Structure 1
Amino acid sequence: MERSSSVVTTAASTRPGRHRAAPSRVERRTTRRPEPRAPIRDDRSFRVDIEGLRGIAVLAVVLFHAGLPGIGGGFVGVDVFFVISGFLITGLLWRELDSYGTIRLARFYAARARRLLPAACVVLVATAYGAILLLPPLRLRDVLLDGAASALYVGNYRFAIQGTDYLAADAPPSPFQHYWSLCVEEQFYLLWPAILIAVAWLIRRAARPRTGQHGRTSHRARRTDVRSRCLYTLAAIGLLSFLADLATTTNLPPWAFFSLPTRAWELAIGGAVALTAWRWRELAPAALRALGWAGLALIALACLVLDESTPYPGTAALLPTVGTALVIVSGCGRTMSDAGRILATPALRTTGRLSYSLYLWHWPVLLLAPAALERDLGLSERIIAVAVAVGLAALTMQFVEKPVRYAAALRASPAAGLAVGGVATAIALSTTLVLAVAGPTPVGHGAAAPSVTIAAPAPTQPAAGAAAAPAPNTLVEQLTAQVQAAVAASAGARPVPSNLSPALADAAGDKPAVFTNGCVRSWLDLGQPECGTGVTRSTTTVALVGDSHAAMWQPALELIADRRQWRLETMAKVTCPLMDLPITSPYLGRTYTECERWRADVLARLRAERPKLVVLGMSRRYGGDFGFVSYDRAWQDTLGRLVAELRAAGSAVLVLGPVPDPHSIVPTCLSAHPDNASACAPTRPVAVNDAGIANETTAVSSAGGRYADLTQLFCTAEQCPVIVGNNLVYRDDNHLTVEYARTLTSVIEALADRALAPA
């Protein structure tokens, strides 16, 4: 983020300077660049109120990230920074354009490089080494690639892509994630000067040169015209950006939050204030005072009433951005406003001077401290972590920011300033890439574990000689007992086996093809394509229906379908249980209309196709942010009605109970505890809701369906191990691996047979 409080553009800067006679032919030959008109500056060129405003912005962000109660909207401090940067940079560029007729890009970019890149490089490299020392090995590659993207100032788009990936949506935040806002501003710095130069060039190219008295009038008009066209261009960019923001906040929240096209309007508001500042100077002092108080009130309101559940940016971002613009406008007057006097207090100005380094340091300190202590931090510990970040920020400002920013040799030579920025970027990029490549690959180094094979017992031979299969309930019990024995043998403190399947490094990608071929519908997808597997021409259809927790059983059911000559039709949508519950998507920040439409389409298909068996699966991790809670009364009632409806349509119904909740990203946890897998295994009371399962069993049975309590396939009476035999049970923090789902194929087949058997 741009942190320099540069000269404010005021009415004085619009007054024409003394007209120079046209240069002689000799002057034109010997002068590289026209001598600039001396810019007329405000007598109060340094905006101390903006320095204090930066202090408020960084305090809001830092205290929000520290979890201080009552500041649920502190993230709006970033929006305040955007408006400030738009104001300062546009004002700086306009003064240069007005004085020289162009923008000296090398000098501009060299100043930005000296100001921003050395400190960013120091923090980025320190964070990379901190990650190597403190984070689980399995997280390191992704985290370090986050750092590499941030070093190239494209990290915001990497975070946007990760945020739209359902399977990565619940991943822990990266210690480099705060660099996203710096990426947005660097991209703005890259594009905005070029746009201003292009606007000025087009206007001057179209204008006919004049001389004499009329030439003075023409010059003055062209100068006003350039400013106006720059303002119109900025307004058009801002409007298009705001419309893009509104559209993506509804449908693609991560892109709305992280990308320049959806944040440019905030920078544009600051730029518009800079280009019109000379007009604000003429406002009455009382009006400016009122604007200043109103601006501070809007910023405070945003910090207090917004929170992480607010769809953002969207219209909610108008609160801090308009508020910041009003505060800046109030400081454009001939005397300092009341709000400006508050902002100019020494404490806020000191915080403002420290804001850039503090912003860089606070997030990695808060993210890595829990990893160092191997536990979550309490509020007092988070405040201590912030204090540590303040100390690091002060050292960085004193020994990195100031020496590089104010070095006379670097200020005099744009090439040297750019070289400093290039070296800093190269160091940061090479450090993260080398550490990512050279970092350890997590593998199990315990003794090889036996594989788990679950098979139906041989049929008994009655006296008549005909083979008799066990009764459905008996077969389920026999197969469950085999799995329970393997689970019990795997409980306790054991190292991760060397033959773990899948390997820890491969676990994240160990998912059924239906998750990648469009069968499992993502948030915004509508409809449900044909997704038949098994014997696709069979006249016997089994439907696997639900959210991603239904789809994770597809590998087992596909094997069963092949064996039984069934057509298996998979119908699934992420975070969308089939029950008729009003649903809000916390990922989209709005009513999940796509889920509601998908449910209607799927139910219509099930009524029309009447599959022999419908297997229902769904997560039980839905909380109040979805508009309902797993296992509550509405959940039980709608589940019973759904089963009854499917039974009335002629289908047998099997409802799969929940898998235990491991409460961690299991492969990552195991990579941090390779000698003790039980450190990642939750206790049964923590992982399993026995009362909820009992209520679901009653609701399903009362409606004529069959319920499969799967707890014994995962847990002993005390613990739910995350490795059974040599099988890794979970690929993330809630989905099964393909291997373990296939291991349980015989049990799922027996459960299906029991559901199909006459009552």
Structure 2
Amino acid sequence: MADRADFREDINALRAIAVLSVMLFHFQVPGFSGGFSGVDIFFVISGYLMTSIIFRRVENGRFSLLGFYVDRARRIVPALAMLCVTLIVVGWFILVPSEFQLLGKHTAGAMTFVSNFFFWSEAGYFDRSARAKWLLHTWSLSVEWQFYILYPVIVIAASRLLQQRVVAILVIAVAIASYALSVRLTHTAPTADFYLLPPRAWEMLAGGVVCLFPIDRYLRGITPRAIELAGLALILTTVFFFAESVKWPGWRAIVPVLGTMLTIWARRNDSGLICNRMTTWIGLRSYSIYLWHWPIVVALNYFNMAHDAVWIGAGIAATFGVGHLSYRLVELPSQRLLRALDGSGFIPKLTELLVPAVVPVVIICASAGIWSARGMPQRFGPAVRMAAAAAADRNPYIKDCFPHTGEPLPACIIGGSGTGIAVEMIGDSHAVSVETALADAIPNGWGKVRFSAYAACPTIRTATSTLPDSQCFAFNQRFLTALIDGPPSATPVVIVNYWHAYLETKPVVFVADTHKPDGPVLPFTAQQFETGLTDTICAIAAKRPVYLTLPFPDFPARLPETVARALIGDLHSPDVTQPLADVRARHAEATAILQRVATRCGAHLLDPLPALCPGGQCLGSVDHRPLYLDDNHLNEYGNRRLVPMFAAVFAVAESSIKVK
């Protein structure tokens, strides 16, 4: 068998289809709602080519593990390194410290091919938007590289013990096991399912199956054209008709994977459907186009141009242009240079290995320096540094008192100068953001705050979160039951939620019977939300004074970065504000529900808007100091404005709270 298969126009065309699908999906071009599946197409192609190389060389007794790794590095590293260097240089001038620090972390992850682990671990309640991560797309390169490392080792080890035909069957068995794992993790750990190799390996192994089991041996009477048509139909069905909201990969990923398998199996190098000058041009440049398209998408978001059709068109054109330059000026020259270093003997091989490693090592060291230096804030003046630092100005008790997922934590007791409990607070992340303000509002000697909160968990005893790994229902049962079933008390309960977010994103459903949390559930509706909240608040209010905070203002972008970026361009830029009328309109439904609940249950309402929106304008920053750590959570500086609001709780209750 040949060491290197003849150029496959059909596979090159599949690369073009894959990169176009991903690119147009990320640029949010209408009609490409399932374009994310382009990555799955790439995985199948990669598995096919790697299997072809490994098995043929093993069969001929000419496989070199070191040579295989060098070949892969020669193909992947140069263009990736150029992208990372460019982002670091540009980031030095335009990224605020927290953004630059994150870029340093991600460039190190990309160059060491572990970025998929970074993005998996970062997925959390306070995580930044995906469209703010310049190298998010490198997760797929990391998954592929991890596959490249393990796959040949396993094949070689198996080949020494088993016949090659048995090894081929083993590939199928492992692919099936990986697919089953992916289907399971879709429901139990979807973030891991998306980013990690074990549940993704089946897609690359599917390409291996195509290589090891040519379909023409098994499907007599079916023409290659018919096979190709079936494959393309499956691919296009995914690209055009699958929704972004589907859980992915999971069982649905079999559709584009099978489509890619069939198209490769058909071996239609002269296909009039997909093989033409355009697909040839794009396919050859698909790697560089893929590398550069996502940073351009992020740049459009960064400069608030992502929804402008003209700028989207310019971004797509720029992607092709920069992708072409990367292919001609980086990919091809670097491959020629590294091949020129190729030779027999220890020294030539060592040189061939070390030369492509030097630049990545330099980038990794620079990235580590950026991370350890916290994004090098000294690049900017004190005003920019102060604005950027607001993102870290968060509740110091957050690690001990606020679980994002998993088991609920015990209640925390903080603040106050007395020894008893002056007030109970329960809620979600918005409660965390104002907990210390409530503690500071407690009159001297009155006691402390007993605080309980859980991420994305409305204070409704029938609510159960649809988010992965959430134990919202268990949290509410644990802490609400104590309030509802406990003895009457004059100690007030303050409930703080991100109310309108639940009505907008609907991340919860409602159990029909609280004694059977695994039983039937009721889908989210505003009416069901109001009914569940009314039942809960009325039950608590029957035993204790209850205070509900009305919604806090939120903003369209993260305030620390927004203010810092504005200051980089103009130290006299205005503070960030938004009209109070707009905020009231956005929160109208949630506010109306809370008002009705308070009336029915005899609860009190606390309105943060007078403190946060003086003069008809809601403040995002004051004297260029942000009041929020992101776009909706107040930071420790901002929540000081709510101390007088919370003090009203104790002014009303002064005659009834028993000081312990």
TM-score by length of 2: 0.86
Contact preservation (8 Å) 2:132, 2:301: no
Which of 302, 306, 311 is matched with 1:381 structurally?
311
Once residues 671 and 160 of structure 1 are traced to their aligned partners in structure 2, the CA distance between those partners, rounded to angstroms, is 28
Alignment of 1:711-722 (within 5 A): 711-722=609-620
Counterpart residue number, 1:521 = 403
Pick closer, same or farther for the CA change 1:609–1:159 going to 2, 3 Å.
same
1:512 and 2:399 matched: no
- The offset of 1:287, in angstroms, is 5.3
1:350 and 2:227 matched: no
Pick closer, same or farther for the CA change 1:146–1:284 going to 2, 3 Å.
same
Once residues 382 and 393 of structure 2 are traced to their aligned partners in structure 1, the CA distance between those partners, rounded to angstroms, is 21
Once residues 187 and 572 of structure 2 are traced to their aligned partners in structure 1, the CA distance between those partners, rounded to angstroms, is 44
Counterpart residue number, 1:606 = 483
Aligned-partner residue type, residue 577 of structure 1:
P
Counterpart residue number, 1:682 = 578
Counterpart residue number, 2:113 = 153
1:594 and 2:471 matched: yes
- The offset of 1:636, in angstroms, is 4.4
Counterpart residue number, 2:460 = 579
Q: 1:415-435: per-residue Cα shift (whole Å, max 9, x none)?
A: 444234213323433454455
- The offset of 1:226, in angstroms, is 2.4
Counterpart residue number, 1:176 = 135
Counterpart residue number, 1:617 = 496
1:425 and 2:360 matched: yes
Once residues 59 and 22 of structure 2 are traced to their aligned partners in structure 1, the CA distance between those partners, rounded to angstroms, is 36
Once residues 539 and 159 of structure 1 are traced to their aligned partners in structure 2, the CA distance between those partners, rounded to angstroms, is 43
Counterpart residue number, 1:397 = 327
Which of 157, 163, 166 is matched with 1:228 structurally?
166
Once residues 266 and 626 of structure 2 are traced to their aligned partners in structure 1, the CA distance between those partners, rounded to angstroms, is 61
Pick closer, same or farther for the CA change 1:625–1:295 going to 2, 3 Å.
farther
Root mean square deviation, CA, Å? 3.2
Counterpart residue number, 1:206 = none
Alignment of 1:684-703 (within 5 A): 684-689=580-585, 691-692=588-589, 693=591, 696-703=594-601
SS in 2 for 1:654: strand
Q: 1:484-523: per-residue Cα shift (whole Å, max 9, x none)?
A: xxxxxxxxxxxx7x9xxxx445433332244211x32323
1:202 and 2:161 matched: yes
Which of 211, 215, 218 is matched with 1:274 structurally?
211
Pick closer, same or farther for the CA change 1:41–1:559 going to 2, 3 Å.
closer
SS in 1 for 2:199: helix
Counterpart residue number, 1:475 = none
Counterpart residue number, 1:323 = 259
Which of 145, 149, 152 is matched with 1:186 structurally?
145
Once residues 536 and 614 of structure 1 are traced to their aligned partners in structure 2, the CA distance between those partners, rounded to angstroms, is 19
Pick closer, same or farther for the CA change 1:160–1:672 going to 2, 3 Å.
same
Which of 706, 730, 736 is matched with 2:634 structurally?
736
Contact preservation (8 Å) 1:545, 1:572: yes
- The offset of 1:398, in angstroms, is 1.6
Once residues 530 and 628 of structure 1 are traced to their aligned partners in structure 2, the CA distance between those partners, rounded to angstroms, is 23
1:748 and 2:646 matched: yes
Which of 478, 481, 506 is matched with 1:626 structurally?
506
Aligned-partner residue type, residue 106 of structure 2:
D
Once residues 200 and 570 of structure 1 are traced to their aligned partners in structure 2, the CA distance between those partners, rounded to angstroms, is 60
1:246 and 2:142 matched: no
Pick closer, same or farther for the CA change 1:84–1:157 going to 2, 3 Å.
same
Once residues 747 and 596 of structure 1 are traced to their aligned partners in structure 2, the CA distance between those partners, rounded to angstroms, is 30
Contact preservation (8 Å) 2:465, 2:473: no
Aligned-partner residue type, residue 616 of structure 1:
I
- The offset of 1:658, in angstroms, is 1.8
Counterpart residue number, 2:546 = 653
Pick closer, same or farther for the CA change 1:366–1:642 going to 2, 3 Å.
same
Once residues 381 and 573 of structure 2 are traced to their aligned partners in structure 1, the CA distance between those partners, rounded to angstroms, is 10
Contact preservation (8 Å) 1:442, 1:504: no
Counterpart residue number, 2:199 = 262
Which of 57, 63, 66 is matched with 2:24 structurally?
63
Once residues 150 and 40 of structure 1 are traced to their aligned partners in structure 2, the CA distance between those partners, rounded to angstroms, is 33
Aligned-partner residue type, residue 126 of structure 2:
L
- The offset of 1:662, in angstroms, is 2.6
Once residues 2 and 654 of structure 2 are traced to their aligned partners in structure 1, the CA distance between those partners, rounded to angstroms, is 88
SS in 2 for 1:660: coil
SS in 1 for 2:618: coil
- The offset of 1:695, in angstroms, is 5.3
Once residues 130 and 581 of structure 2 are traced to their aligned partners in structure 1, the CA distance between those partners, rounded to angstroms, is 24
Which of 12, 30, 45 is matched with 1:84 structurally?
45
1:48 and 2:9 matched: yes
Pick closer, same or farther for the CA change 1:122–1:69 going to 2, 3 Å.
same
Pick closer, same or farther for the CA change 1:82–1:566 going to 2, 3 Å.
same
Contact preservation (8 Å) 1:510, 1:737: yes
Contact preservation (8 Å) 1:536, 1:567: yes
Unaligned runs of 5+ in 2: 510-523
Alignment of 1:29-44 (within 5 A): 39=1
Contact preservation (8 Å) 1:130, 1:368: no
Once residues 284 and 564 of structure 2 are traced to their aligned partners in structure 1, the CA distance between those partners, rounded to angstroms, is 41
Aligned-partner residue type, residue 754 of structure 1:
V
Aligned-partner residue type, residue 51 of structure 2:
T
- The offset of 1:641, in angstroms, is 3.3
Counterpart residue number, 2:517 = none
Counterpart residue number, 1:669 = 562
Counterpart residue number, 1:110 = 70
| Number of equivalenced pairs | 628
Once residues 543 and 739 of structure 1 are traced to their aligned partners in structure 2, the CA distance between those partners, rounded to angstroms, is 22
Which of 278, 301, 312 is matched with 2:237 structurally?
301
Which of 210, 228, 238 is matched with 1:292 structurally?
228
Contact preservation (8 Å) 1:86, 1:271: yes
SS in 2 for 1:299: helix
- The offset of 1:98, in angstroms, is 0.1
SS in 1 for 2:614: coil
Q: 1:68-120: per-residue Cα shift (whole Å, max 9, x none)?
A: 101111010000000110010011100000001x6212221222122111111
Contact preservation (8 Å) 1:584, 1:625: no
- The offset of 1:308, in angstroms, is 2.4
The structure having more radius of gyration, on CA atoms, is 1
1:144 and 2:26 matched: no
Contact preservation (8 Å) 1:134, 1:368: no
Counterpart residue number, 2:535 = 641
Once residues 637 and 711 of structure 1 are traced to their aligned partners in structure 2, the CA distance between those partners, rounded to angstroms, is 26
Once residues 547 and 114 of structure 2 are traced to their aligned partners in structure 1, the CA distance between those partners, rounded to angstroms, is 47
Contact preservation (8 Å) 2:612, 2:618: yes
SS in 1 for 2:451: strand
Aligned-partner residue type, residue 354 of structure 2:
A
The alignment-based identity, stated in percent, is: 28
Once residues 651 and 364 of structure 1 are traced to their aligned partners in structure 2, the CA distance between those partners, rounded to angstroms, is 53
Once residues 281 and 579 of structure 1 are traced to their aligned partners in structure 2, the CA distance between those partners, rounded to angstroms, is 60
Counterpart residue number, 1:366 = 297
Once residues 748 and 541 of structure 1 are traced to their aligned partners in structure 2, the CA distance between those partners, rounded to angstroms, is 12
Higher mean alpha-carbon deviation, 44-53 vs 659-668, is at 44-53
Contact preservation (8 Å) 1:125, 1:431: no
- The offset of 1:550, in angstroms, is 1.6
